[in-house]
Structure formats: structure tokens, C-alpha cells
Amino acid sequence: MAGVWVFNNGVYRLESSPRRRVLVHLPSGEVVASYSSLDRILRGLGWERYYGGDPELYQFHKHSSIDLISLPKDFSKFCSVHMYDIVVKNPNVFHVRDM
């Protein structure tokens, strides 16, 4: 659980942290703010869209590996778990930063 415990009027309550995380493309310094920008960057790295899986996912695969990147169709559900998956599968290309 991320956040801070606050004691007020005899009650403890967890307040969530106001920071959010972003995926950064290191060579350009670009913050990935949409799937269209992520798609452009991944295609430049040799990734291709994969259409054979779950229709609720936005997926990429690379012919030179067995890796598959699976992301939710809705970009608003794109979270740090998905970001770190991209970072691990593309070492030295992406980084997750706190904003």
C-alpha cells in the first residue's frame, strides 16, 4: 500500500500518495503519454503489434525473442506494472520516473 497514515480525531486513515509514475523513452527524453507514441517507439525498436491474443489487450511481440508485452486497451489503466514490463524487455531504452 502506497501512501501515508494520518491520525485525525481518533481515527487512522490511509491517504494515497499524490505522485504518479511515467514511462520515459531515454534516447529522446519523451514521456510516453499515449499508446500512439508508445507504438511508434516500440516499432522503431523492432516490436510488432500482436493481434492473436485477448481482444481486451494491446499487445506487442518481437520476432527475435519470446517476449510479449500485454497492455490494457484503455490507456488510463496503464500503470507502473505495465511500465516496468516494458523497461525489463527493453533494457537501457525506457525508465520509470516519479512525477
Judge whether 3 lies within some domain: no
pLDDT at 14: 78
* Each residue's pLDDT tens digit, 71-96: 999 999 999 999 999 999 999 999 99
Domain containing residue 78: 19-98
20-46 residue pLDDT tens: 899 999 999 999 999 999 999 999 999
Give the global pTM: 0.80
d(CA 39, CA 89): 15
Specify the number of domains making up the chain.
Answer: 1
Cβ–Cβ under 8 Å, residues 23 and 31: yes
Residue-level pLDDT at 71:
97
In a domain, 62, yes or no: yes
Q: Which pLDDT value is given to residue 20?
A: 86
